[in-house]
Structure 1
Amino acid sequence: MTTLNFGAVQGLTGAEQRHLQDLAGVYQYHQAGNAVKDKYYEGHVTLNDVNLGIALPGGLRNLEVGCNWGQKAVDALADRSMFDGFVGSGQAADTMAQLVAGNRLLAQYAKACRDELKYGCVFATLSADPALGCRIRFHSPATSAALWSGEKGRIDCGLAIIDTVPDEKFKGQWRPHIVNLYTDEAVLVLTLENGVWTAERHPHRMGRPLMEPMIWNATSGKPFGRSRLKRPVRALIDDYIRIVANATIALEFDTTPQKYLLGVTDDQYDAVVSSKFKQYIGSILASTSNPETGENPEFGQLAQGSLQPHVDKMRMTATQFSAATGLTITDVGIVNDANPTSSDAILAQSQTLVLMAQQLNQGNGDALATIARMAQAIARNVPLDALTEEEAGIMAHFKNPAMPSVAVTADAAIKIASARKEFASTDTFLEMIGFDQADIRRIKAQEQRVRGRQLLVEVENENNGENLG
């Protein structure tokens, strides 16, 4: 776990020093909770974490039961939030397209969205860049912190660790050496050298921190949102792990059912006990009568336990998890082969997740629009109020979270094109009938070559006609 201990930083004002200490305190306070969410997302939950101390033996406390429900709860929703770039008009659209490509924003958004749902929020930071115009980076709460201003309705100040852990093997012993502090007036680069932190000030004209959060499921009491892996969801994952462990132990006992022999002699008893496994797998078990009692030995087997109660409990827990997260019942591994679910029923089950994705896109779209406006202002080195109407009107675009089939979208595109003739020549039409951006570029390039050849043929025919005349 990363520790931030700044002390007195050279080059900071008294107010900035207080903000830094408050941010460091917030960062340290949330690290334990963030580590728990990360553990559930990665599936590194052991029986020792969930054991009630009743049925599970203590010797299995370090056993890890494979459970990807935490990852599924996050990824299934994140996969439906498909950022597709910014839309606008004029030069602003071209500028944002360059910023999106230069910062690899489509791929970065996909990673940031997972962190947002895992922890509740993620922070985007911006800085001037000579090559790109503006550099945009995303930081999870594991490497950043911020203070919310209810009066301003936005971040008051924030910090982000810039030199993160170089490799996972250094986790727990890595100490950052470069941390950025974001305020309304400047970005302060804090550098640790020889045990002393110093600040390098970079003033800006934005009038607000160059830091913007993307927040999931915020409330008035939790302005930085809530995780998809909140405590009730983690409790259901614990329940599932206990069920699987109990079922595994029950299966071991069912594989080797308990047998008994009554009325054997001491020698026979010693022979059986000395080679239990051999006696178990042998096809014949022979024994003479007991000379002391005259009784013949009696062989028996105790009734096997049933796995059905474990299966029923697993199904019940999976249904509760599905209801708590909005996942379909098939997403959590419950399939009814006897009565398969129709495609319409599966689509109806996914409506909850689609509505959540629409809510996620709406919130992230507002944040990305703010990021786009600040990025353009940084690239032009102007304040926000100096942006043109085109630059201020940039909007984020997301693909349909319902993910309809190509047949459905193609049919809709053709119907629209029949009513609006110009629509058939747009990129949107080609996207709706199933082509991605790479295909669209190839199609347009080949169409341009065809038009060029046709034009050459027409010019050549005209020249030949003139020569004959």
Structure 2
Amino acid sequence: MTTTFSFGTVPGLTGEEQRQLTELTEAYNYHQSRNATKDKYYEGHVTLQDVNLGIALPKGLNKLEVGCNWGQKAVDALASRSMFDGFVSNSGALDGLQKLVDDNRLIAAYAKACRDQLKYGCVFATLSADTDIGCRIRFHSPATASALWNGEKGRIDCGFAIIDTVQDERQKNSWRPALVNFYTDTAVIVLRSNGSSWAAQRMSHRMGRPLMEPLIWNATSNKPFGRSRLKRAIRSLIDDYVRTVANATIALEFDTTPQKYILGVTDEQFDAISSDKFKQYVGALIAATSNPETGENPVFGQLAQGSLQPHVEKMRMTATQFAAATGLTVTDVGVVNDANPTSSDAILAQSQTLVLMAQQLNTGNGDALHTIACMAQAIARNVSLTELTEEESGVMAHFKNPAMPSVAVTADAAIKIATARQEFASTDTFLEMIGFDQADIRRIRAQEQRARGQALLMEMDDADNDTDVE
């Protein structure tokens, strides 16, 4: 965990670069408390102190944590439907780019970055030349990076990413940046800290723009870096649920030991009962003689137990509101009743909102990944973006179907397409639609090639035998 920090005046930077770095640092520090709040709700670390209205919940229970994974569910349910599957091109020649994807483990890295993107509203991809793999691609959340938006150019104006940190000796359990990359239109400036000051090392590039690209969710004209899935309205519903569960838990404790009373007892009997209330509660028999002073017989009674039904109804209402606000199904947030759909078609219809959100997410991220792929190829070849070939600049990001239809549905569709287009049956796409993954497809292709080779050898042997007979 890093805290707020500042660079001060860094030797080697121009006046404009120093101004940009100062603005970036101010933007980073400004958002850290908000990012920490989103982290807390994503991890489910919400205490009663955060949600207590001060009416029904005792103050002594302020540190009680009620388990609620709604924040994580809101992020992960959408992120799991954005399944980046690599790049495609018209010519099919992706050897160089495919190597960059494999060396950077880009598919796995995208899955993690997508969660951060939805949690914070955006995530930043940074690129740098690498002697071993050509281009190194990293993803940074707003918890470790900052950027300024250029409305005129419609892209990032500049940005920085914290690459490495060291433990802060002055504050326990906190870390301070030790290595930061500063991205401008003409260079990547590596900033190193010696504990008291910063040193700059400039590495020029030919890209004409920062080697930094954002993946943004739900951007608006006044919020170009997007909005989090855990925005304030969603967090309020989580607070409401946590508060209701806490009230229900406390009510259940009281219902487990209902209030009993006994009237008209002597002082000795009162002292005996008060000395061990639990023993009196669990005892099978309570005996008391009449009060000699008043002549009255003791009267036993029990107060009516409270009902959990209002709490359950409130939880159901809050869960339904949360499902509507996030696009999740009510089943995803734990509401199960007889009215829930049982057929696959009905369940798919309920999740249609989430599918549409995933399509929107894939569209935006596809554009960003296209830019990342073009810059990565240019860096690997040490050329500018304008010097890329048509095949290199024409790549597109491919995502799996966010609706995640069953294998039976996609296989049926693939067979029908292959009936109309016979060549389609020999493609990898056909094999994917009928349920094979890339590992299976490679095995199938290899075994088919081996079978064709064996058949060719047998034909050659038969031809040689016929020649010998003649």
TM bin (shorter chain): over 0.9
Deviation at 1:204, TM superposition (A): 0.4
Is it true that 1:358 corresponds to 2:359 in the alignment?
A: yes
| Counterpart AA for 1:435 | F
The equivalent residue for 1:198 is: 199
Is it true that 1:346 corresponds to 2:347 in the alignment?
A: yes
| Counterpart AA for 1:235 | S
| Counterpart AA for 2:29 | Q
What pairs with 1:175-254 in structure 2 (closer than 5 Å)? 175-254=176-255
The equivalent residue for 2:96 is: 95
Is it true that 1:396 corresponds to 2:397 in the alignment?
A: yes
The equivalent residue for 1:431 is: 432
Q: Unpaired runs of 5+ in structure 2?
A: none
Deviation at 1:338, TM superposition (A): 6.8
Deviations 1:269-316 (A, max 9, x none): 111111111111111111111112222211111000000000000000
User: How does the TM-score come out when normalised to structure 1?
Assistant: 0.97
| Counterpart AA for 2:334 | G
Q: Is the 8 A contact 1:143 1:164 kept in 2?
A: no
Using a 3 Å threshold, how does the CA distance of structure 1 residues 124 and 338 change in structure 2: closer, same or farther?
closer
Q: How many angstroms apart in 2 are the aligned matches of 1:75 and 1:157?
A: 30
| Counterpart AA for 1:443 | I
Is it true that 1:382 corresponds to 2:383 in the alignment?
A: yes
Deviation at 1:452, TM superposition (A): 1.5
The equivalent residue for 1:132 is: 133
SS for the counterpart of 1:11 is: coil
SS for the counterpart of 1:176 is: strand
Deviation at 1:172, TM superposition (A): 4.4
Using a 3 Å threshold, how does the CA distance of structure 1 residues 113 and 338 change in structure 2: closer, same or farther?
closer
Using a 3 Å threshold, how does the CA distance of structure 1 residues 337 and 91 change in structure 2: closer, same or farther?
closer
User: How does the TM-score come out when normalised to structure 2?
Assistant: 0.97
The equivalent residue for 1:302 is: 303
SS for the counterpart of 1:124 is: strand
Deviates more, 1:260-269 or 1:229-238: 260-269
Deviation at 1:459, TM superposition (A): 1.4
SS for the counterpart of 1:80 is: coil
Deviations 1:12-54 (A, max 9, x none): 1111111101100000000010000000000011000110000
Deviation at 1:4, TM superposition (A): 2.4
Q: Is the 8 A contact 1:92 1:394 kept in 2?
A: no
| Counterpart AA for 1:436 | D
Question: Structure 1 vs Structure 2: percent identity of aligned residues?
Answer: 77
Q: Is the 8 A contact 1:6 1:197 kept in 2?
A: yes
Q: Is the 8 A contact 1:2 1:172 kept in 2?
A: no
The equivalent residue for 1:62 is: 63
Q: How many angstroms apart in 2 are the aligned matches of 1:239 and 1:341?
A: 29
SS for the counterpart of 1:195 is: coil
Deviation at 1:175, TM superposition (A): 1.1
Q: RMSD of the TM alignment (CA)?
A: 1.5
| Counterpart AA for 2:205 | H
Moved over 6 A (4+): none
The equivalent residue for 1:17 is: 18
* Number of matched pairs: 467
Deviates more, 1:332-341 or 1:92-101: 332-341
SS for the counterpart of 1:163 is: strand
Q: How many angstroms apart in 1 are the aligned matches of 2:310 and 2:177?
A: 51
The equivalent residue for 1:289 is: 290
Q: Is the 8 A contact 2:191 2:200 kept in 1?
A: yes
Q: How many angstroms apart in 2 are the aligned matches of 1:128 and 1:159?
A: 16
Deviation at 1:345, TM superposition (A): 2.3
Deviation at 1:341, TM superposition (A): 4.0
Deviates more, 1:336-345 or 1:26-35: 336-345
Q: Is the 8 A contact 2:167 2:176 kept in 1?
A: no
Q: How many angstroms apart in 2 are the aligned matches of 1:459 and 1:341?
A: 59
